[in-house]
Copies of this chain bind each other. A is one copy, B any other.
Amino acid sequence: MSSSPITNELLHALFIVAIAAEAMTAALAAGRREMDWLGVCLLGCITALGGGSVRDLLLDHHPLSWVAHPSYLLITGGAALVTIALARFIHPLRHLFLFLDAVGLVVFTVIGCDIALGLGLPWSIAIVSGMITGCVGGVLRDVLCNEVPLLFRAELYATVSIVTGALYVGGLALELHQETVTGGALAIGLALRLLALRFGWSMPKFVYTKDLH
């Protein structure tokens, strides 16, 4: 389960980039709801760090990452504020944001799997832990913006997280080389997400119009 120092450092660097990127996309969502500057900051922090926090609460894994590393609050809150200042330059860079958001999804997923495995939990819970880490931040963002979470409605997002987690957990169970497994799961998950964005892939929808009562 314990990665090599190099993998760990790379994952950590990607994690920092990812939480900043998640905070920035959350700041844009806050802007669409005309939130004030502090609201933008708070929504950035909650979106970027909420998935990991919910995972840690559910798995009783304390202290939470931002309690142990308050600098994460500074990074995510700061990234949200920077977004306000740079808003007019963001639209041309939207493909970069969508790319970084996808990186965040797969990196969060792998970290979430790792934490569950480190707690000695079974592979199924590790995959769920990865999905919670990757996806719940966005659900909190949408609930706080008073929208039905995008996660439930559109795009291969949770699916990408499950595939990434299954590849990672499965690869480790097969005792493949740790770096290979991490790199492979991240690369395949990222590719799947980018292809889904490019070609508009999505899950079939379930439409039901009757009422139970």
Contacts and interface: CB of A to CB of B under 8 A. Distances in A.
A38 B213 CA distance: 21
A148 interface: yes
B210 A91 contact: yes
A154 B36 contact: yes
A124 B153 CA distance: 37
Given A124-B73, A145-B148, A158 B38 contact: yes
Interface string A51-73: 00100011110111001001001
Q: How many copies does the complex hold?
A: 3
Nearest to A151: B39
Nearest to A128: B73
A113 interface: no
Contacts of A202: 36
Interface string A82-100: 0010010011001001100
Nearest to A203: B36
A201 to B, nearest CB: 11
